[in-house]
Amino acid sequence: MSILITGGAGYIGSHTCVTLIEAGYEVIIYDNLSNASHESIKRIEMITEQDITLIEADIQDKQALHKVFETYTIDAVIHFAGLKAVGESVQKPLTYYQNNIAGTLTLLEVMQAHHCKQIVFSSSATVYGDPASCPITEDFPLSATNPYGRSKLFIEEILRDMYRSDTEWKIVLLRYFNPIGAHPSGTIGEDPNGIPNNLVPFIAQTAIGKRDSLAIFGDDYDTHDGTGVRDYIHVMDLAQGHLDALDRISTFSEVMTINLGTGKGYSVLDVLKAFEKSVGKTIPYHIAPRRPGDIASCYADPSYAKKILGWQATRDINQMCQDSWRWQSNNPNGYNKEAQ
Ligand code: NAD
Ligand code: UFG
């Protein structure tokens, strides 16, 4: 089976490629490298000991996409490609809608033209907005508070419309909670540009001395210690979820919408403590004002994933932090080897 992986050079995509290749799938990576590098492809090749086909192109480039489907027999697409920075999306809504929504429309149009009708889409827990309670099941009300989140909601709706128009489509919407961690080899991992927005990359860069102190955004939330609670999930567990979805996709007779989380909520302070344990030293932090748009708590009810995919997360918060730290300490400047 040949799988086209859009955004396959990125953080979640690269880990998923490794898992799929090890399970015997052929992968073709399609990525414009707007948030990734050739180095991540080399690292996937190192881990899997296989040559990887990279098509360096944009999902908005219809001709380039047609050429891929003409050249290869693609059985299914995993669609990771997209811009994902919440704050940037507020500043540049058109860029986000163009890249994420228009790009997906072009991808679907070309897939349809080539009778490839199986797609796994990267959605996000952000589609639950500010949930009324936790744990969150897939039937919770949906909302968006920023253009990034709205792009995910729209694409989910577009994919449901595709299925309504033609029930031969096999569609899986995977709603990820907070992916962290890295491949256990420390060879691939998350490589954010500039100052990290997300918690664990920021903690990791503080631990290695690139940042002075972690700002904890608010300690007066209604949570066990006042700091925000999230469902952190190991990226290798997430990768396994994609493999399990692909293995079953041809059997689905409706659009499948599935949470991928652990079902456990950890506060910012809990994560900091687990990370300190991995590093073996304390990490400086200070309490800062709440970050606009943040919610108190968000964690999944992952029981539907278990029922439908036979999937459940197996790695705990300590393993997530150990693997994030191994990646960070082996690669203090991410994939930018020249700077190391
Ligand atoms: P990432 O930025 O590391 O990976 C995305 C990849 O897509 C990058 O390699 C980038 O170069 C590529 N890309 C972007 N626009 C493209 C385009 N127009 N054409 C071709 N390639 C393009 O991000 P990630 O964390 O691996 O996320 C993957 C997907 O999962 C995204 O759709 C993201 O929105 C979604 N998601 C991520 C998180 C998270 O916290 N990381 C949470 C929920 C959902
Ligand atoms: N936090 C800090 N300091 C930081 C960064 C984060 O205290 O420097 C806190 C946040 O306030 C929040 C928690 O750490 O309580 C997690 O924040 P992240 O930015 O790591 O993650 P979010 O839950 O805010 O958002 C992430 C992705 C979104 C995605 C969402 C749900 O960034 O794109 O998970 O999947 F939509």
**Residues 2-26 pLDDT 10s:** 999 999 999 999 999 999 999 999 9
C-beta atoms surrounding 295 within 10 Å: 16
**For residue 151, which ligand has an atom nearest its CA?**
1
**For residue 144, which ligand has an atom nearest its CA?**
2
Q: Which pLDDT does position 339 carry in this prediction? A: 58
DSSP label of 50: S
> pLDDT digit string (tens) for 22-77?
999 999 999 999 999 999 999 999 999 999 999 999 999 999 999 999 999 999 99
The preferred substitution site among 83, 155, 230, 271 for testing ligand 2, maximizing ligand atoms within 8 Å of CB, is: 230
Domains of the chain: which residue ranges? Answer: 2-182+232-261+301-314
The preferred substitution site among 18, 61, 84 for testing ligand 1, maximizing ligand atoms within 8 Å of CB, is: 84
Look up the CATH number of domain 2-182+232-261+301-314: 3.40.50.720
Q: Of 25, 30, 148, 176, which one is the catalytic site residue?
A: 148
Q: Which pLDDT does position 336 carry in this prediction? A: 87
> pLDDT digit string (tens) for 190-217?
999 899 999 999 999 999 999 999 999 9
User: Mean pLDDT throughout 305-315?
Assistant: 98
Exposure string for 163-173, b = 16+ CB within 10 A, e = fewer = beeeeebbbbb
Q: Are 117 and 167 in contact (CB under 8 A)?
A: no
Question: Quick one: which H or E segment has residue 54?
Answer: strand 53-56
Count each helix (H run) and each strand (E run) in the chain, helices first: 12, 14
DSSP label of 128: B
Q: Which pLDDT does position 213 carry in this prediction? A: 98
Could you tell me if the CB of 155 is within 6 A of ligand 1? Answer: no
Could you tell me if the CB of 58 is within 6 A of ligand 1? Answer: yes
User: Mean pLDDT throughout 94-105?
Assistant: 98
The atom of ligand 2 lying closest to the CA of 203 is 8
Is the pLDDT at 264 greater than 80, yes or no? yes
Is the pLDDT at 94 greater than 70, yes or no? yes
Q: End-to-end distance of the chain based on CA atoms, in angstroms?
A: 38
Could you tell me if the CB of 16 is within 6 A of ligand 1? Answer: no
**For residue 57, which ligand has an atom nearest its CA?**
1
Burial (CB < 10 A; 0-12, 13-18, 19+), residue 158, is middle
- The rounded Å distance from CA 18 to ligand 1 centre is 16
Q: Quick check: is 72 catalytic? A: no
Could you tell me if the CB of 4 is within 6 A of ligand 1? Answer: no
Q: Whose CA is nearest to atom 39 of ligand 1?
A: 179
Q: Which pLDDT does position 337 carry in this prediction? A: 61
Q: Whose CA is nearest to atom 27 of ligand 2?
A: 178
- Going by pLDDT thresholds of 50, 70 and 90, the confidence category of residue 307 is very high
Degrees to nearest 5, angle at CA 87 with 6 and 317: 70
Q: Whose CA is nearest to atom 1 of ligand 1?
A: 10
Question: Quick one: which H or E segment has residue 153?
Answer: helix 147-165
Is the pLDDT at 173 greater than 80, yes or no? yes
Q: Whose CA is nearest to atom 18 of ligand 2?
A: 198
Q: Which among 278, 295, 239 has a CA at the least distance from the CA of 120? A: 239
